[in-house]
Chain A
Amino acid sequence: MGKRAFLSANEAAAYGVKLAKPDVVSAYPITHKPLWWKRLRISWQKAKQIMNI
């Protein structure tokens, strides 16, 4: 049995993608949110892994 959640179809589809484990996701960000901060977070997560902190 899976996990019961309350999601939009966008979020549900995103979970489908996560579970399908693609190698690469390519995207053109259509909203005007600055995605640079997400990039920064991703880089920081990786940096923490490398530095072992």
Chain B
Amino acid sequence: MVEKVADFLAEGEADYEYMMVESEHSAMAAALGVSMMGARAFTATSSQGLMYMAEMLNYTSGGRHPVVMVNANRALAIPWNIYGDHSDAMAMRDCGWIMLFAESGQEALDMVIQAYKIAEDKDVMLPVMVNVDGFTLTHTYDVVDIPEQELVDAYLPSFDTANKMCLEHPKTLCHSVGPDYYTEAKIAQQEAFEVAKAKIVACDEEFEAMFGRGYGGLIEEYCCDDAEYALVAMGGTVGTVRDVVDELRAAGEKVGLIKIRGFRPFPEEYFQSVKSKFKAMGVIDRSLCFGVGGTVFGEVKSALYGSEMGLKGFVLGLGGRDISVDMIKEMFAELKECPAGEYSDQPIFVGRRW
């Protein structure tokens, strides 16, 4: 997508500085350097590239620099696979970045704008990763409304921070500390993530008021009010589940969809609020936490501590394998068979070929 960003520059529609660097590690290092000067930085990557810049992700977040990055979610080698899944983002879930997942191209556009507002908030000051499913979203054409610049300017103030190199107020950035200071720096980051929960919701609500489109902040519930069975999903898959919910509802089945939009910070409070709501809940994972199970499943299960609902962890859509309408119906059918209090201790691989 950076090529399109370069096209805007080449066509005179934008005037950012465009730094071509020799690796993704350098791309993040450059973005960090820009942010350390108090300027607004952007970069984009995917899959192996995200892995390559891994240490710089922690540099940026630990330094509290509000860089925004688009990550096209793709599988990780080996085997080498260029298609979409969530492995890359999940491998980096502890890097201290806010992580949001877009359901559509429209949401991706809006999310980049919202991301800067969230990131640069003085009480947050955390970098934001905007996750967009590789191929199923990134290479799929869809109807998008491009907002007017004036409206975006009214929504998004210019970047202003004290966390920068400044001759008038010299300070140390990217510093070394010993055991006597490190812990409190990390606690401060954790506290910023707690603040970010409310800010993500507020920024989305403000966006909705101004642009007419809202996404629920961290979580969107679809048809959950009287649902007996609910599937949790992230990214483009959410759209397909919406259609299946509509179809099953028309046939009288009480099913619902829970869209996780904000994965970091994790919406623990939401899951605690629904821990007795459904008969069974399933989680769709597009990544594997080896030795544990579906990545998001583990976090949902943890957030549902004390729940007696049936819980199932489904793993599918790895390496770009299609997540079909039939598979989603199959998952809802499995939820109906799930007794209360039972949770899957092994991932259920839907669509497994052998």
Direct contact of A and B (CB under 8 A): yes
Question: Which residues of A pack against B, CB within 8 Å?
Answer: 1-31, 33, 35, 38-39, 41-42, 45
- Hey, what's the 0/1 contact readout for B142-162 against A, CB within 8 Å counting as 1? 111111110111001001000
Number of interface residues of B (CB under 8 A): 74
Q: Is the CB of B8 within 8 A of A28?
A: no
Chain A residues whose CB sits within 8 angstroms of the CB of B23 once the complex forms: 28
Q: Is the CB of A6 within 8 A of B3?
A: no
A2-B146, A23-B40 provided; 9 other pairs, C-beta below 8 A? A7-B144, A8-B105, A9-B108, A14-B1, A14-B5, A19-B113, A22-B68, A24-B39, A31-B3
CA distance A17 to B140 in the complex (A): 19
Chain B residues whose CB sits within 8 angstroms of the CB of A13 once the complex forms: 1, 44, 70, 105, 108-109, 111-112, 130, 132
Look across to chain A and name the residue whose beta carbon is closest to the beta carbon of B13: A18
- Hey, what's the 0/1 contact readout for B197-218 against A, CB within 8 Å counting as 1? 0000000000000010000000
CA distance A19 to B115 in the complex (A): 12
Which one of B3, B13, B41, B145 lies within 8 Å of A22 (CB-CB)?
Answer: B41
Q: Is the interface of A mostly helix, strand, loop or mixed?
A: mixed
Look across to chain B and name the residue whose beta carbon is closest to the beta carbon of A49: B12
CA distance A2 to B227 in the complex (A): 36
Q: List B25-63 residues whose CB lies under 8 Å from chain A.
A: 26-28, 30-31, 34, 39-46, 49
Number of A-B contacts (CB under 8 A): 199
Chain A residues whose CB sits within 8 angstroms of the CB of B151 once the complex forms: 2
Q: Is the CB of B49 within 8 A of A6?
A: no
Please name 14 pairs of A and B residues whose Cβ atoms are closer than 8 Å in the assembled complex, sorted by A. Answer: A7-B141, A14-B1, A14-B5, A18-B14, A20-B40, A20-B42, A23-B39, A24-B30, A25-B18, A26-B41, A26-B43, A27-B19, A38-B10, A39-B20
Chain A residues whose CB sits within 8 angstroms of the CB of B42 once the complex forms: 17, 20, 22, 24-26
Chain A residues whose CB sits within 8 angstroms of the CB of B22 once the complex forms: 28
Which one of B8, B27, B28, B138 lies within 8 Å of A10 (CB-CB)?
Answer: B138
CA distance A30 to B116 in the complex (A): 25
- Report the minimum CB–CB distance from A42 to chain B (whole Å): 5
Which one of B6, B105, B133, B153 lies within 8 Å of A12 (CB-CB)?
Answer: B105
Q: Does B318 contact A (CB under 8 A)?
A: no
- Report the minimum CB–CB distance from B16 to chain A (whole Å): 5
Chain B residues whose CB sits within 8 angstroms of the CB of A27 once the complex forms: 2, 5-6, 18-21, 27, 43-44
Q: Residue among A27, A35, A41 with the most chain B CB within 10 A?
A: A27
Q: Is the CB of A28 within 8 A of B112?
A: no
Look across to chain B and name the residue whose beta carbon is closest to the beta carbon of A3: B146
Given contacts A17-B42, A30-B49, contact A42 B18 (CB under 8 A): yes
- Report the minimum CB–CB distance from A40 to chain B (whole Å): 9
Chain B residues whose CB sits within 8 angstroms of the CB of A17 once the complex forms: 5, 42, 70, 112
Q: Does B9 contact A (CB under 8 A)?
A: yes
